[in-house]
Amino acid sequence: MSWLDQLLPASFRGVPFQVDDISHSAGDTVVVREYPFQDLPTVFRMGEAAEEIRFSAYVIGDEYIAQREALREVLTGEGVLVHPTAGSIRVYVAGRFSIKENPTYEGGVARFDLTFIRAESRRYPTGVTNTEGDAIEAADEATDAAEQQFATEFELDGLQGWVADSARFSMRSTLDAVWGQVGELASSLGSLGALGAPAALGSLDSLASMGPLGSLRSLAASGALGSLGDLNMLADFGNKLIGSYQSASRGFDALVLQPRELAGALRDLFELPVQLPQPLAGRYQAAFAGLFEMAPILRRNVIEVPIVPEVGQGLVMFGRGDPAFLGTDGAARGQLARVNAVCDQFIETLATAAYVRATAQFDLSASDYDTVMAMRRAVNAQCTRLLVEASTRQAPESLPVKEWHSAVISLQTAALKDLQARSRDVVRLDDYTPQAWQPVWYISYLLYGTATYADEILDLNPHIEHPLLVPPGKALRVMRHD
């Protein structure tokens, strides 16, 4: 093919024009230094110079005035220049340009003297906000603030005996409830270390029906949890978590009298592996979400009062009921309610922060729109509920170093920002199963009320061999546009 056959019609931003001549100015920018009594100069290369492209362009014909105005309108800023010999180039218009017309000598022609600067890619990397890191950092800050506030507010000294006993019972129930959510997963992780050599992984398919432990082993066998070294690290983490719970359980009677140590022991149960495999991120989210609201899942005794019948009418019995209705709701009951509220706020904040950490390690690109929206609603609703409930309680007598309220607001903001930033490309997908052979345009009209999305349906479903014959009985992946 000759060079004449390869010439392209010149245009800028889609507006065509004719070309007389083209010139380039390219090369390096150098600085020359000459010194007395030195024969050769010193030359400093300052880098590649901006490449200039100059055109002597013109528009011609009966409609040249309209062509002239169309070209004049786009000659500003950045755009794509179609170069006759170099192809498409992204350029900047280099400042001013001149237009020449000579109606008496050369009618119907307008000439432009144009200069463009070639727009190179950015030479230096631009900073990108690490939203996952910000969310994890905010979760750590909220955890620190919750731990300090619990250590400041939780105090059993000075309470009536039955109030202190009830508070101990509530904290013990809290410890068991937390372990009930994360313990099974920790035990499953601990068992991964016993899988042995990689050859043994292939024989574990039969364990898939054995609940969480079996399914985790099946994931390990398929390689979804990483290499054998990764499995050993997960196993070590699971065993460490089990040890933390056993230590807290055995020493609970001493820990409950030392709020700071108790807070640290409970915090350890909300730790996550440093590198959380994707198959486990969702399971950790579910475990922590189960601790978002503690009151309904704890075994807390309602007040017990004696029921004394008339003489000869029966035995003295104990009954349980509403303290306010029975007239026994006094200052001591208020103290117990405040202690329980302090415990609940601490655990629920730890659970929320751990949920955000697990979410920050969740691969949203492999998820769908509805799943991401469910995460956003969960985080927003939980943080809002914590802040509202805290605002209705009496302020503590002394404030910790890190203020809990501000930390939870920062956690909410960072988590929502992370989910928003990482879910921009997540689309809303749904399923539709045709019941008969149908044209793709009919399916588009049936789903959306317009045939405009027929090409989109074809792109999402490569199994469709002909647009007029979409096979029945096989689910289609379709995008939701509601």
The amino acid at 204: L
130 touches 306 (CB < 8 A): no
Residue 409 pLDDT more than 90? yes
Read off the pLDDT band of 175 (50, 70, 90): very high
- Which tokens belong to 421? 């930033």
What is the mean pLDDT of the segment spanning 179-204? 63
Residue 316 pLDDT more than 80? no
| pTM for this predicted structure | 0.61
Cα(374)–Cα(380) distance, integer angstroms: 10
Is there a domain that residue 234 lies in?
yes
Query: Range with the lowest mean pLDDT among 127-136, 191-200, 204-213, 461-470?
Result: 204-213
Note whether 311 and 441 are same-domain residues: no
What is the mean pLDDT of the segment spanning 46-55? 82
Cα(143)–Cα(149) distance, integer angstroms: 10
| CA end-to-end distance (rounded Å), the chain | 52
DSSP-assigned letters across all residues of 106-146 = EEEEEEEEEEEEE-PPPSSPPP---HHHHHHHHHHHHHHHH
Tell which residue, 32, 128, 19, 135, has the closest CA to residue 71: 19
What is the mean pLDDT of the segment spanning 98-124? 79
Residue 413 pLDDT more than 60? yes
109 touches 59 (CB < 8 A): yes
Residue 238 pLDDT more than 80? yes
Top-ranked range on mean pLDDT: pick from 83-87, 163-167, 219-223, 330-334: 163-167
Query: Range with the lowest mean pLDDT among 26-30, 134-138, 226-230, 421-425?
Result: 226-230
Read off the pLDDT band of 385 (50, 70, 90): very high
Last residue of a domain, one of 72, 87, 118: 118
Give the position of tokens 């607001």: 409
- Which tokens belong to 258? 């030392």
CATH number at residue 458: 3.10.350
Distances (CA, A) of 109 to 9, 73, 112: 18, 17, 10
Cα(136)–Cα(275) distance, integer angstroms: 13
3-class SS of residue 269 = coil
349 touches 408 (CB < 8 A): yes
Residue 138 pLDDT more than 90? yes
Buried b (16+ CB within 10 A) or exposed e, 174-184: bbebbbebbbe
- Per the model's pLDDT, the better-predicted residue between 473 and 7 turns out to be 473
- Which tokens belong to 165? 């006993």
C-alpha dihedral, 322 to 328 to 329 to 330, nearest 10° = -170
Give the number of C-alpha atoms closer than 13 A to the C-alpha of residue 302, restricted to the C-beta side.
10
- Per the model's pLDDT, the better-predicted residue between 222 and 421 turns out to be 421
Note whether 374 and 466 are same-domain residues: no
Note whether 191 and 219 are same-domain residues: yes
CATH number at residue 22: 2.40.30.200
355 touches 386 (CB < 8 A): no
What is the mean pLDDT of the segment spanning 293-307? 66
Note whether 379 and 451 are same-domain residues: no
What is the mean pLDDT of the segment spanning 27-33? 83
Note whether 227 and 372 are same-domain residues: yes
Read off the pLDDT band of 416 (50, 70, 90): very high
Note whether 402 and 469 are same-domain residues: no
300 touches 209 (CB < 8 A): no
Cα(77)–Cα(72) distance, integer angstroms: 12
Is there a domain that residue 333 lies in?
yes
Read off the pLDDT band of 213 (50, 70, 90): very low
- Per the model's pLDDT, the better-predicted residue between 233 and 361 turns out to be 361
- Per the model's pLDDT, the better-predicted residue between 159 and 450 turns out to be 450
Question: For 337-370, what is each residue's pLDDT tens digit?
Answer: 888 889 999 999 999 999 999 999 888 876 777 7
The amino acid at 118: R
- % of the chain beyond a pLDDT of 70: 79
Q: Are strands 28-33 and 78-83 parallel, antiparallel or unpaired?
A: unpaired
Note whether 173 and 102 are same-domain residues: no
Is there a domain that residue 358 lies in?
yes
Read off the pLDDT band of 7 (50, 70, 90): low
Residue 67 pLDDT more than 60? yes
What is the mean pLDDT of the segment spanning 16-38? 81
Domain count, the chain: 3
Last residue of a domain, one of 422, 437, 456: 422
Note whether 55 and 155 are same-domain residues: no
The number of beta carbons lying within 10 Å of the beta carbon of residue 300 is 13
- % of the chain beyond a pLDDT of 90: 23
Residue 210 pLDDT more than 80? no
Per-residue pLDDT, 147: 92
110 touches 101 (CB < 8 A): yes
Cα(375)–Cα(373) distance, integer angstroms: 5
Which residues are CB-contacts of 349 (< 8 A; sequence separation ≥ 6)?
142, 143, 145, 146, 386, 404, 408
Determine the structural domain holding residue 214 and report its residue range.
131-422
Please give the helix or strand (H or E) that residue 55 lies within, else none. Answer: strand 52-60
- Per the model's pLDDT, the better-predicted residue between 324 and 452 turns out to be 452
Note whether 284 and 384 are same-domain residues: yes
- Displacement of CA 244 from its chain's centroid (Å): 29
3-class SS of residue 328 = coil
Per-residue pLDDT, 437: 92
288 touches 181 (CB < 8 A): yes
Per-residue pLDDT, 406: 92
Is there a domain that residue 18 lies in?
yes
- Per the model's pLDDT, the better-predicted residue between 411 and 84 turns out to be 411
Which residues are CB-contacts of 81 (< 8 A; sequence separation ≥ 6)?
10, 11, 12, 53, 88, 89, 90, 91, 116
Note whether 169 and 109 are same-domain residues: no
Residue 377 pLDDT more than 90? yes
Which residues are CB-contacts of 231 (< 8 A; sequence separation ≥ 6)?
192, 193, 195, 220, 225
Is there a domain that residue 3 lies in?
no
Is there a domain that residue 450 lies in?
yes
Note whether 41 and 149 are same-domain residues: no
- Per the model's pLDDT, the better-predicted residue between 394 and 259 turns out to be 259
Residue 474 pLDDT more than 70? yes
What is the mean pLDDT of the segment spanning 49-62? 84
57 touches 72 (CB < 8 A): no
What is the mean pLDDT of the segment spanning 415-431? 82
Cα(75)–Cα(116) distance, integer angstroms: 10
Per-residue pLDDT, 200: 34
Is there a domain that residue 76 lies in?
yes
Note whether 407 and 452 are same-domain residues: no
Is there a domain that residue 6 lies in?
no
Last residue of a domain, one of 422, 440, 461: 422
